[in-house]
Amino acid sequence: MTLKTALVTRGHTQALKDGTVTTRTFEFAFEDVPVIIHAFRRMVRGLEFDVSEMAITTYLCARAHGKRFTALPIFPMRAFHHGAVVHNTNAGIRSPKDLEGRKVGVNRGYTVTTGLWARSILQHQYGVDLSRITWVLSGDEHVAEYQPPSNVVPIEQGRTLEDLLVSGEVPAAIGVQVEAPGVKPLIPNAREAGFDALRDRGLYPINHTVVVKNDLLSAHPELGPDIFNAFAEAKRPYVERLAAGEIAEPSKDDVTFRRVLEMTGDPLPYGLEPNRRMLEAVVQYALEQGIISRRVAVEDLFPANTHGLTA
């Protein structure tokens, strides 16, 4: 069985991509998708892949709208998001609470995972009332059926968030990359704030999961565990090299994962139980922010025969 697959090449997936790790019941047929968010949309709207990496909030939203795929408890991308909120230093924003009553831009759609985690930090760490902010989107949602809350609006046609941020018309934004002297992260020492949140509260956000078409999981009950085990086998030597300092030219992610490893152990834990706290958090925040309309048990997000798997 050959599975058309969209997956980013990273240190912990390289062994899958180059064939070092082989599988028992299937073969991956990787399609090169240079911008992986395009694969998310293609999977949500057209079921174009058998297996696809997918943002965790895109999955929650897609699941709520009956899309025919299910995630495995594999989480190939994690990141800290304290630095995702930037502001125009001349717009009168001195602290996160100052965002209330103002417009805040969001790169792409409201259901983007970085947006969810950044808003949760504003709400739960800094006491910001998210309902008192007008969220201005630069794009649409992967899940076309999704309807955002009433305080979420599209950007004016012909404008860009970058220009609005630099001009101060939108005083702050999430997930926008701007090189301008007057635009800076809102949360001071954002990188260290992320590690402090991990150390103090166990906050280690999940960004991406891996989804598989439901008809394949139904027809081949062992496929879910087989895919999980392949990802686990590919990850193992990467974490060993990371721990030994044997990555010759570490990327930004490698540096982050090495520091997480020194703080808490495996920086890329797979499985439901090792990630229960973050999975329950992302469900809670998605509910609070109007990305989903009803709570879902984390067990219901994954096939039953993967619940006991860890790696």
pLDDT in tens, 119-173: 999 999 999 999 999 999 999 999 999 999 999 999 999 999 999 999 999 999 9
pLDDT in tens, 170-225: 999 999 999 999 999 999 999 999 999 999 999 999 999 999 999 999 999 999 99
- Laid out side by side, the sheet with 183-185 consists of 152-154, 134-137, 103-106, 172-174, 85-88, 183-185
Residue range 232-247: average pLDDT?
Answer: 97
Residue 40 pLDDT > 90, yes or no? yes
Residue range 74-102: average pLDDT?
Answer: 98
DSSP code of 91? T
Residue 75 pLDDT > 90, yes or no? yes
- pLDDT confidence tier of residue 38, bands split at 50, 70 and 90: very high
pLDDT reported for residue 242: 97
- pLDDT confidence tier of residue 24, bands split at 50, 70 and 90: confident
Q: Residue 271 burial (CB < 10 Å; 0-12/13-18/19+)?
A: buried
pLDDT in tens, 269-286: 999 999 999 999 999 999
Task: Write out the two tokens for 164.
Answer: 């609005």
Distance CA 265, CA 247 (A): 17
| % the chain with pLDDT above 70 | 100
pLDDT reported for residue 255: 97
pLDDT reported for residue 202: 97
Residue 25 pLDDT > 90, yes or no? no
Task: Write out the two tokens for 155.
Answer: 């950007």
* Those residues with Cβ within 8 angstroms of residue 249's Cβ, 6 or more apart along the chain or in another chain: none
Residue 63 pLDDT > 90, yes or no? yes
Distance CA 28, CA 22 (A): 9
Instruction: Please enumerate, as own/partner, the contacts of 250-259 that have beta carbons within 8 Å and a separation of 24 or more.
Output: 251/11, 253/10, 253/11, 253/79, 254/11, 256/79, 256/80, 259/195
CB 182 within 8 A of CB 90: yes
Residue corresponding to tokens 């010759």: 248
DSSP code of 111? T
Residues linked to residue 271 through DSSP beta bridges, in sequence order: 310
17 φ/ψ angles, rounded to the nearest 5 degrees:
-70, -35
pLDDT reported for residue 205: 98
